[in-house]
Structure 1
Amino acid sequence: MNATSRLFAVTAAAPLLLGLAACRPAPEPAAPAATADAPARSAEVVLLDDTARQRAGLVVTDARTVERADAIDAPGIVALNEARTARIGSLAEGIVVDLRAQVGDRVRPQQVLATMHSHIVYDAWAGYRKAKADERRLQTELRYATDAQARAERLYAAKAVSLQELQRAEANRASAEESLDMGRTEVRRSEEELEHLGITNGEDPSGESGEQIPVRAPFAGVVLERLVTQGTTVTPGTALFVVSDLATVWVLAELDEAHVSGAQVGRPVNVRVAAYPSEVFTGRVTYVGETVNPKTRRITVRCEVPNPEGRLKPEMYATVEIGEAQGRPVVVVPADALQVINNQPAVFVAESDTQFRLRPVQPGPTRDGLVEVRRGLQAGDRVVTSGSFILKSELLKTSDSGE
């Protein structure tokens, strides 16, 4: 091909090449290089500037180590301390004539709660008076017999009486002593009969009071039940009042049989009730049941808990935490630091003032507002407590936009 032909071919192909070049897509612009001070965003990191952090109200706390004993949690119920509860019944047949205590009253030891009219009191007083009169008579007879013996001894020494008369005087004195001992025994018996009826021998039995039996509180406490009204006819054993000292209460925990080895007499317990969610009432195990409930497969554990202010009320539901004797060091964080994201418990760890990383953890039991972290944190790690839910929302928002 000569030079003229080649020039013609190039000239003819030029428009075609220009058309193909026009149809080819333009190259994408190169991404700008990341700056050295901008951290790479990821699905586990939340970035907040100072303004956003203050608006979220973030509070950062160090994870720390505390001494904590393993514990067993069990449902329970507050009950009366039966060792300090009296179910007072009638001691004799009679009629209630006066009520001096109402439900809710705080009573003193031996305070009269009610009085009953009963003819049996007459017989008790008559027996007491007769026993006292016999005692005085026998004391006089003993003094006479003692004087007679002393006189017989002087006369016998002067050979004015026979030995037989002296021996008779000695026998009379010994008999008088024996009779007086028997008389004093009868006085004690009659006093005990009056005391059984709630009457002391120093009370004035004259008039209507001579037929009345006082119903007394055996110890200080609160009247929980009044089971009679004025004019009620009662017989021996009729229930009258229930008085309980609420300074201590029982908490009956229902413990799964698999955990009974952790409940031993003397172990410390922490009790919580819904009425006071932020408070813990401490006590100890006093009894572990001997049998398993065949329906629930649980064992009743009795705990005694001081209740000086009376805030624990019988029949309250409770949560009982039975502690181990020895504690162990555990890492804890405030309970509000814990979040659940994609069904995984996690916390946000502050890597700087503006960068917060999600870290999965294995939580343990929560106690006194602190949750144990068994895996995922070390003491000294800075975790977000207040405001951690805001970080969770920001993280989920970023994940949704990334998809």
Structure 2
Amino acid sequence: MNRILSIAVVVVLGGAASAYWYVQGAGRNARPRADSASESTQTGAKAACKSHGLAADACPICDPTLIARLGECLEHGVPEAVCWICRPKLAAAFKAEGDWCGEHARPESACDLCAGSLQEFRERYAARTAVGDDTQARVDLDSGHAHDRASPSVSSTATPRSQRPPAEQCDTGSRTVRLASTDVARRAGLQFARVGRQAVTHSLTCNAEITYDAGRYARHAPRVAGVIREVRADLGSRVSRGDVLAVLDSSELAAAKADLLQATALVALWEKNREREDGLLQRGISTERDLLEAESKLTEQRIDLSRARQRLHTLGIDEAAIEALTARQDISPVLNVTASFDGIVVERNAVIGENADPSRSLFTIADTRAMWAILDVYESDLREIRIGQPVTIEVEAWRGREFAGRVTWISTEVDHRTRTLKVRAELDNADGLLRANMFGTARTAVMECEPIVVVPRTAVQWDGCCNIVFVRTGETTFEPRKVRLGHETGEFYEVHEGLSVDETVVTQGSFLLKTEIMKERIGAGCCPDD
């Protein structure tokens, strides 16, 4: 049998406006409903909640009905009853629940500096308005007394709320919300929208961080230890391949050059000695043994020369420079640190007079004409991502502007803590607007569909087990309709079941209507899910 909830709002203006709502159930004796935490206790004395250190009638953990009755904290975007900023004493309750981040002084489930989020926080506590915990006290609205009652455990599922099917046993659809007058709707700030069809593109949205392209990023350190004599590049300097970044004095380089010159001289010496021994053997003056010894020595010296040349190659000296220093007999200790490609100096650690060695980078160069975006994609969305897929990135610094790129790599590992995996997209950055370590939002289209029924996101409310939308059936009457939703598409949800084109739904103010529905159902235990 349908039950009609009548809502009367009396607005008193006198410096500040206040509203008083009451609920009357069909077939019951009408009686006013408590409108604040202090009115929820009928004993006259304010008992203490020993578990959480709060007054019993002000503890949203023990009395989850407060979450629905007190509504939203508009300033901080969480239910008023569990707003730890407005109600600092709640910290003890959250600590008792094991949900407190001591480092950042907020509930851990709401700590976005660690691993939480306001969405996770809302889901954890707002769900109690419908189901509560197995051991929590509930308020029996018929008797006005608190009592303990076991309830089905809250289901945990990775399926987003918006895509969960309606609960079979929920009787939300059998109710009607009726306002006293159209003026009440106006004063309550209700706004409406008409259900329609539109072509939608299914897109995946996730967090992204901008980083340098690892293939265009390099740290430059000297190949050998030395003392910095001169610095020729600074932060922000644009350099080309081969440009000198710094000049060092290296005794090890000087020794390597000397070894090369020595090996070159010995090879020349033993080449002459071999020719002489060969001539003597031809005239019968020398023996074949002497010739073999000369050839062996020449081979050894050639090996030493090759080793000395190779050592200079590893120190960054090319063949042309080796030939030049051999011709000049150059053993100077000067070592140039040069750029390996065109780019910008993004890090400098070189200081004149300091010691430098291969273990410490003096300069870091990046080619910022292309950047990477590292996306955090949820495990459940992995099937929507593929190599070569177009991606657009919007960053905080350039809101309203999108940077286009394509997916080039998908990680083979899922983070065990966040259940996300890394996806890399390459972005064009010819204008240099993107900077490393910027945070942004990535979107990628995964499917395009024909026009389908959609409803504004602001019209959808979660009542503990179902997604509901309030359909306007008359000037002052509204029907809570269970809906089966599809993907989120910007400001809308796809509607697979529950709504028809041209029906009028409540958008702004739908939360107030849901609150009245929830007041009637608190303690009924009709919805087992969160």
> If the TM-score is normalised by the length of the shorter chain, which range does it land in?
0.5 to 0.7
Distance 1:78 1:209 in 2: 46
| One-letter amino acid of the counterpart of residue 281, structure 1 | A
TM-score (norm 1): 0.56
Pair 1:342–1:213, CA change in 2 (3 A): closer
Q: Runs of 5+ in structure 1 lacking a partner?
A: 1-62, 156-160, 333-337, 347-361, 377-391, 393-403
Q: How far 1:329 sits from its partner (Å)?
A: 4.2
What are the within-5 Å matches in structure 2 for residues 346-357 of structure 1?
Answer: none
Helix, strand or coil at the partner of 1:201? helix
Q: Are 1:286 and 2:418 counterparts?
A: no
In structure 2, give the amino acid aligned to 1:131.
A
Answer 1 or 2: higher relative contact order, Cα 8 Å, separation at least 6: 1
2:326 paired with 1:201? no
Q: Measured at CA, do residues 92 and 302 of structure 1 come closer, stay the same or move farther in structure 2, by a change above 3 Å?
A: same
**Deviation sequence 1:243-262 (CA, Å, 0-9, x none):** 12223322111122222333
Give 1:142-157 correspondences, 5 Å limit. 142-144=274-276, 152=282
Residues 266-345 of structure 1 mapped to structure 2, 5 A cutoff: 266-276=388-398, 277-294=400-417, 296-324=418-446, 327-331=447-451
Alignment of 1:226 with 2:348, yes or no, is yes
Residue 66 of structure 2 corresponds to which residue in structure 1?
none
Could you tell me how far apart the structure 1 residues matched to 2:232 and 2:354 are? 14
Contact between 2:209 and 2:373, CA under 8 Å: does it hold in 1?
A: yes
Deviations 1:227-269 (A, max 9, x none): 1221222344123111122233221111222223333444443
**Contact preservation (8 Å) 2:218, 2:364:** yes
Q: Please tell me whether the aligned partners of residues 390 and 404 of structure 2 are also in contact (alpha carbons under 8 angstroms).
A: no
Q: Is contact 1:330–1:374 with CA below 8 Å preserved after alignment? A: no
CA separation of 1:177/1:244 partners in 2, compared to 1, >3 Å: closer, same or farther? farther
- Among 233, 251, 254, which residue is 1:122 paired with? 254
Separation (CA, whole Å) in 1 of partners of 2:470 and 2:239: 53
Q: List alignment gaps of at least 5 residues for structure 2.
A: 1-196, 462-468, 472-484, 497-506, 508-530
SS in 1 for 2:413: coil
Q: Alpha-carbon deviations, 1:158-189, whole Å to 9, x = none? A: xxx79x97xx38x93x7666554443332232
CA offsets 1:299-355 (integer angstroms, 9 cap, x no match): 22233334333322101112223454xx544449xxxxx896798799xxxxxxxxx
How do residues 56-135 of structure 1 correspond to structure 2 at under 5 angstroms? 70-135=202-267
Structure 2 residue 307 is the aligned partner of structure 1 residue 189: yes
Question: Is the 2:488–2:494 Cα contact (8 Å) retained in structure 1?
Answer: no
| Cα distance in 2 between the residues matched to 1:89 and 1:250 | 24
Question: Matched residues in 2 for 1:287 and 1:186: separation?
Answer: 49
Task: Pick from 343, 363, 376 the counterpart of residue 254 of structure 1.
Answer: 376
How big is the shift at 1:127?
0.3
Equivalent in the alignment of 1:241: 363
Please give the alpha-carbon distance, in whole angstroms, between the structure 2 residues aligned to 1:142 and 1:100.
49
Shift of residue 65 of structure 1? 6.2
Letter in 2 for 1:197: L
- How do residues 4-19 of structure 1 correspond to structure 2 at under 5 angstroms? none
Higher helix share: 1
Q: Is the 8 A contact 1:257 1:292 kept in 2?
A: no
Q: Percent identity?
A: 22
Where 2:362 maps in the other structure, the secondary structure is: strand
Aligned 8 A contact 1:263 1:288 in 2:
no
Q: Supply the RMSD in Å over aligned alpha carbons.
A: 4.5
Letter in 2 for 1:284: V
C-alpha displacement at 1:85, in angstroms? 1.8
CA contact (8 A) 2:242 2:341 kept: yes
Q: TM-score, normalised by structure 2?
A: 0.44
Shift of the alpha carbon at 1:201? 1.7
